């Protein structure tokens, strides 16, 4: 039980957080972090644990998001039904997709997931009679305060992580890793690799789709460009996974925290600090700098991908021993 003290303390803090921090903007950031922790866990399951890299996570995110939105738009049901149904539709998408695509190995599978992402986006954009196309869909929000959404997101994130704990210790977890390490050896040891890859993909799609449905409920508005975004959703999902730690359970949580910090840090100009600075100094240089920084988050992502792959390929949780050595070395050096 001792190994769970840190996660449980973390959970306790997270549960108490909205009472400690009452300002809506940090609450918004926390909701994003929890949402990305769920997406990252889903990505990690199929890509990190099972070794079938998902380049197009947005395909499932958007499916969940649109399911929730369409329930309101077409059937006049509450968008919250989108959570269970979004999970279902994501799995319904994952199943035939995996069936057709798992014959492809490694990078080719990754590329087909990219294609799936683009195809789903095209469908959402072109099938206007269903989705209103680029105009997008509006959903009335259930609550004004962010706090209830926070707790839903917390349940989602905690649930994903608990699920990962169970899965990794079970037959599924062992089989997934066997497939990742060497698919042929796994088959020779009696593992039906096609079946288990499908299971992994469906569970991942489920987690990611749930997050998408939550997004619709929380933001109140979706359109194809946002929920099927390649760079802002699919690539971020990958970053959450690789920064936090591929193939670790808590990696996605760490990765989500960092990625949200990076994303929002750039978009808001260092959380509004740059804007303040520009106003105080009145300097055009600072103003231009602010303008560039607020648009630079994609550049930051690209650089981050390169840096992580080169220097921290197993992520923060994965390379923690090495990282710790550097941190201590640095601390001792400056003493």
Partner 1 sequence: MDVFLQTLVAGILKGGLYALIGLGMTLIMGVMGIINLAHGQLMMVAMYATYVCFHYMGIDPYWALLISMPTLFLVGVVIQKFLLNPLMKVESILPENQVLMTVGIGMVLTEIMRFIFTSNYVSVKTSYSAAARFVGGISFSVPLTIAFGFACVLTLLLFWFLLKTDIGRSIRAVSLDGEAAELMGINSERVKAITMGIGAALVAAAGTLLLPVYYLFPDIGGPFTRKAFIITILGGLGSTVGAIFGGVTLGLAEALGATYIGMAYEDMVSLVIFVVVLLFLPGGFKRLTKV
Partner 2 sequence: MAYFRVSDITKYFGGLAAVNRVTFQVEQGQIYGLIGPNGSGKTTIFNLINAYFPLTHGEIFFEGQMISGLKTYQICRRGIGRTFQVVKPLKRMTVMDNVIASAFLHSRTKSQAVDLAEEMIEFCGLVPHKLKLAKSLPIASRKRLEITRALATKPKLLLLDETAAGLNPHEMDEAIGLIKKIRDAGVTIIIVEHIMKVIMTISDRILAINHGMAIAEGTPSEVASDPEVISAYLGEDFRAES
Rule CB under 8 A: is residue 283 a binding residue for partner 1?
no
Q: Which residue has the tokens 């508005």?
A: 221
CA distance 101 to 110: 10
Rule CB under 8 A: is residue 246 a binding residue for partner 1?
yes
CA distance 47 to 252: 12
Per CB under 8 A, the segment of 184-192, 193-201, 263-271, 290-298 that binds partner 1 is 290-298
Rule CB under 8 A: is residue 96 a binding residue for partner 2?
no
CA distance 117 to 213: 17
Q: Which of partner 2, partner 1, none lies near 322, with the C-beta cut-off 5 to 8 A by kind?
A: none
Output DSSP code: residue 170: S
Q: Which of partner 2, partner 1, none lies near 113, with the C-beta cut-off 5 to 8 A by kind?
A: none
**DSSP-based three-state secondary structure for 270:** coil
Task: Report how far Cα 319 is from the mean position of its chain's Cα atoms.
Answer: 20
Give the Å distances, CA to CA, from 308 to 115, 127, 293, 312, 314: 25, 38, 21, 5, 8
Please identify, using beta-carbon distances, which residue of 189 and 298 lies nearer to partner 1: 298
Q: Which of partner 2, partner 1, none lies near 135, with the C-beta cut-off 5 to 8 A by kind?
A: none
Rule CB under 8 A: is residue 236 a binding residue for partner 1?
no
Q: How many chain residues interact with partner 2 (CB under 8 A)?
A: 18
CA distance 237 to 40: 6
Reading the block at residue 91, the tokens are 């799995």
CA distance 55 to 61: 12
Closest distance of CB 51 from partner 2, Å = 11
The contact pattern for partner 2, residues 159-188, with x = CB under 8 A and - = no contact, is ----------xxx--xx-xx--xx-xx-xx
Task: List the one residue from 118, 187, 232, 264 that touches partner 1 (CB under 8 A).
Answer: 118
Rule CB under 8 A: is residue 134 a binding residue for partner 1?
no
Q: Which of partner 2, partner 1, none lies near 298, with the C-beta cut-off 5 to 8 A by kind?
A: partner 1
Rule CB under 8 A: is residue 84 a binding residue for partner 1?
no
Give the Å distances, CA to CA, from 20 to 34, 39, 136, 154, 210: 17, 26, 35, 16, 27
Task: List the one residue from 309, 326, 327, 330 that touches partner 1 (CB under 8 A).
Answer: 309
What does the binding site for partner 2 look like in residue numbers (CB under 8 A)?
169-171, 174-175, 177-178, 181-182, 184-185, 187-193
């Amino acid at each position: 039980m001792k190994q769970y003290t840190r996660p449980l303390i973390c959970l306790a803090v997270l549960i108490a957080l909205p009472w400690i921090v009452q300002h809506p903007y940090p609450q918004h950031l926390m909701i994003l972090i929890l949402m990305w922790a769920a997406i990252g866990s889903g990505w990690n399951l199929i890509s990190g644990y099972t070794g079938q890299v998902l380049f197009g996570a947005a395909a499932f995110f958007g499916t969940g998001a649109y399911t929730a939105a369409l329930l309101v738009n077409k059937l006049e049901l509450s968008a919250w039904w989108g959570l269970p149904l979004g999970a279902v539709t994501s799995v319904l998408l994952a199943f035939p997709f995996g069936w057709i695509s798992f014959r492809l190995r490694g990078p080719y599978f990754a590329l087909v997931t990219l294609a799936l992402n683009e195809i789903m986006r095209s469908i959402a954009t072109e099938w206007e009679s269903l989705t209103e196309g680029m105009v997008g869909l509006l959903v009335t929000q259930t609550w004004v305060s962010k706090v209830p959404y926070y707790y839903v997101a917390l349940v989602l994130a905690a649930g994903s992580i608990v699920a990962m704990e169970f899965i990794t210790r079970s037959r599924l977890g062992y089989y997934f890793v066997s497939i990742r390490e060497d698919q042929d050896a796994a088959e020779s040891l009696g593992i039906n690799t096609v079946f288990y890859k499908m299971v992994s993909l469906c569970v991942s799609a489920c987690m990611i789709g749930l997050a998408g449905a939550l997004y619709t409920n929380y933001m109140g508005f979706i359109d194809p460009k946002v929920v099927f975004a390649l760079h802002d959703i699919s690539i971020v999902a990958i970053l959450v996974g690789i920064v936090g730690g591929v193939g670790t359970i808590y990696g996605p949580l760490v990765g989500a925290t960092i990625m949200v910090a990076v994303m929002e840090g750039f978009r808001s100009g260092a959380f509004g600090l740059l804007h303040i600075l520009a106003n105080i100094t009145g300097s055009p240089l600072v103003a231009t700098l602010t303008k560039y920084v607020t648009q630079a988050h994609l550049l930051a992502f690209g650089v981050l991908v390169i840096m992580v792959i080169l220097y921290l390929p197993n992520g923060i949780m994965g390379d923690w021993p090495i990282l710790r050595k550097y941190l201590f070395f640095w601390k001792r050096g400056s003493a």
